[in-house]
A and B are shown apart, each in its own frame.
Chain A
Amino acid sequence: MASPNELEVVWETRDGATILKPAGDIDLSRSPVLRNDIRKAIGDKPGRLVIELSGVSYMDSSGVATLVEAMQLARKINAKLVLCALTDRVHSIFEIARLDQFFTICADVNEAMEA
């Protein structure tokens, strides 16, 4: 049986990009799972890392912190980090934290591949 603290993260590669699709709430108990996947993905040195968030119904500041760290790691390897398909509730925390301009945020994966 899956642990209640597990977060499912589906991986996809496309045209030199890695696309991560987490599904579930991302809070203090689960953000370390996403962090591990992001660090593994960055370790493969993709040209672009897309994080597709349509399956994430809730994110707290630990999730946002994980994505800020991802941006810093991506910059170190000259990779482009793009977020896409944010629900309104998840987008709200980026607005409150005034990070909606810090990240490249797209409507969907196709747009994120071109951003």
Chain B
Amino acid sequence: MSDPKPVIEIRLLSDPMYLAGARELVLGLTRRLGFKQDESGRIALAVDEALANVINHGYARALDRPIWMSIWTQTPEGLPGLRITIEDEAKQIDPDSICGRDLDDVKPGGLGVHIIREVMDKAVYERRESVGMRLTMIKALTPKSTHAREHANG
């Protein structure tokens, strides 16, 4: 069976000013899909961190480079949830070298990858076929993460 098409595909420039639009899109979509409010906020944060990492590290703060975000409303197993890919044209690096810092070593910076891995069920970095990197993030919609209880409680 062929891979289903994403329900949303956007291309944005690597200017931090546009991060707000991307995270608001994710926030609104995840709420509509049924994620709890706090869970939606955490997912939007993880996406924001992934985009910020591309801008900071992949593109060294250049403002005019492309970033593509694609969203599916199912996990790869076909379950309700999210699959989000972030792709860039940055220099390819060893995916195994991408890791969060030791949280006990408190210092400014280095939290983005930790946040992504903490929030998402799965986060996989890989080299794209031709140029750049791809991050795939998976988050299943489970009874614990839905807002049915929020509605039930008014």
Contact = CB atoms under 8 A, between A and B. Distances in A.
Nearest to A5: B17
A3 to B, nearest CB: 9
Contacts of B118: 96
Interface string A80-115: 000000001100110011110010000000000000
Interface in B1-58: 15-17, 19-20, 23, 38, 41-42, 45, 48-49, 52, 55-56
Contacts of A60: 19, 45, 48-49, 52
Given A61-B112, A92-B42, A93-B45, 9 more contacts: A28-B52, A29-B17, A60-B19, A61-B115, A69-B108, A96-B42, A96-B115, A97-B114, A99-B106
24 contacts: A27-B19, A27-B20, A28-B16, A28-B19, A29-B15, A29-B16, A29-B17, A58-B23, A61-B49, A61-B52, A61-B109, A61-B111, A68-B107, A69-B108, A72-B108, A92-B41, A92-B42, A96-B42, A96-B114, A96-B115, A96-B119, A97-B103, A97-B114, A102-B106
